[in-house]
Amino acid sequence: MLNILVTGSNGQLGSEIRELSSEFEYNFFFTQRDSLDMSKLDELQEYVEQNKIDVIVNCAAYTAVDKAESDEEAADIVNHLAVQKLAQISKENDIKLIHISTDYVFDGTNFKPYVEEDTTSPNGVYGKTKLDGEKAMLEINPQNSIIIRTSWVYSSYGANFVKTMIRLGKEKESLGVIFDQVGTPTYARDLAKAILEIIPKIKNQNVEIHNYSNEGVLSWFDFAKEIMRMAKLECKVNPIETKEYPTPAKRPHYSLLNKAKIKKEFDIAIPYWKDSLDECLKKLGERR
């Protein structure tokens, strides 16, 4: 039985993996920052050796996109330097490493869905530190390891766009949501299931990059409208431009990811975004 270490286990993706863990014949070790300090190489090595870890799924990330603009050091420690150490440990101990990255490694100026080989050019600190983590992993190159780029993650766990819209939809008569940023949401449960299913299938000499999000294309405005419709909330959603909602970090205007590679290589089906939203809202008890 494989021993799988899941870092960042209290986050959205880590929590979904934990919930699904009973459905898979793996032995799981779930850790958080307070139980395993990934900035300390010796501590990581000791943990891996003691628990005979075979696979690491790195869900740990500094995801406060706007805060990262003024806190680059903290973002770099988690998104870059910790990934570097995990890659070193994985290479030295012949461990599979699955690292979760982001659409923010792109600048969002594309006109067709991003493929894994497209040129990266992050707009802000969050994207830069995530890209630096990718580069460190690619350079160290632990065998049988992959990077999964994803976008617009939400879940029944943690804070996210879906939960925020439900809360605001109950509090307000109307709200403005950005319509000129386009991509696809990712239900963390779908990604968690995909990761657990593909673990035995990962066999590659060099680190490979894969894209994963739900199927379909929409704006944040479209997403909000559908949340209100499914939850039967009366709140009116109005479209606004990005410039009407300034933030410290610049968001990519276009972050649609092409998933052909991961679907073909691992023979997985990816759910349509509306079906996954429906499932999440039911789980939250908000589907009407």
Mean pLDDT in residue range 199-218 = 98
Cα four-point dihedral sign 121, 123, 128, 130 = negative
Q: Which residue of the set 26, 47, 114, 126 is catalytic? A: 126
pLDDT of 34 higher than 90? no
Could you read off the pLDDT of 161-208 as tens digits, one per residue?
999 999 999 999 999 999 999 999 999 999 999 999 999 999 999 999
CB 146 within 8 A of CB 210: yes
Question: Mean of the pLDDT values across residues 74-100?
Answer: 97
> Given a cut of 90, is residue 147 above it in pLDDT?
yes
- Exposure string over 95-111, b if 16+ CB within 10 A, otherwise e: bbbbbbbbbbbbbbebe
pLDDT at 128 over 90: yes
Spans of all domains in the chain: 3-160+184-214+255-271
The reply to whether 272 belongs to the active site is no
pLDDT at 33 over 90: no
pTM, entire model: 0.97
- CATH architecture observed for domain 3-160+184-214+255-271: 3-Layer(aba) Sandwich (3.40)
